[in-house]
Amino acid sequence: MFILSQCLVAVATLLDLASFQFKSRKLILLCLFSSVLLTATHFFLLNKMSAALLMLIAATRYFYCIFNRSQWAMLGFMLLSCVAVALSWQDWLSGLALIATLIQTFASFRQRDVLLRLFMVLGTAFWISHNILVGSPVAVLMECLFLMSNLIGLFRFYVLPKDIKPAS
């Protein structure tokens, strides 16, 4: 099961790498939706139920955010995440996963893609810590690559001067 879990998260990694190379908020969220479904399965296979449930909620959240951004829905997803962790608590790593999820939930509901990206950087740092402590090397690699892709996208779209910006 461990090898299968690592293969699933490897495919999720490819989707993560693609996600932040798009300027379109909708395309970013569609890639993230697909990626976290695979990552949820990965955590189920590793018997990390809190992380798996949080990823399933995150997939639903990303899909919802493609079409709508109600602040009430954001609070609902945050509450649902807290309830899921309370019901599936295994150890303090469940709390670390919850912090990461709450930050990324807030990010998902930002209207501007630059704010989505910046809050994702913070949430990703918490997921990297979680995955190191869980002992999932491919998930650590996935989150590190996701972070790098996000930072490259931020640089391409918001840091490079317009006259030398590559075609997008």
Residue 43 CB-density burial (10 A; 0-12 exposed, 13-18 middle, 19+ buried): buried
Residue pair 62/101 in contact (Cβ under 8 Å)? The answer is: no
Predicted TM-score (pTM) of the model is 0.83
pLDDT at 166: 59
Q: What share of the chain is helix, strand, coil (3-state, %, to 5)?
A: 85, 0, 15
Cα–Cα nearest to 141, from 3, 14, 4 = 14
Residue ranges per structural domain of the chain: 2-164
Helices (H) then strands (E): counts for the chain: 7, 0
Per-residue pLDDT of the chain (168 residues; tens, 9 = 90+): 889 988 998 898 899 888 877 878 888 889 989 999 999 999 999 999 998 999 999 999 989 988 998 999 999 999 999 999 999 998 999 999 999 999 999 998 988 888 989 999 999 999 999 999 999 898 899 889 989 988 998 998 888 866 665 555
pLDDT at 147: 93
Cα–Cα nearest to 126, from 152, 102, 90 = 102
- The string over 93-123, giving b where at least 16 C-beta atoms fall within 10 Å of a residue's C-beta and e elsewhere, is bbebbbbbbbbbbbbbbbeebeebbebbeeb
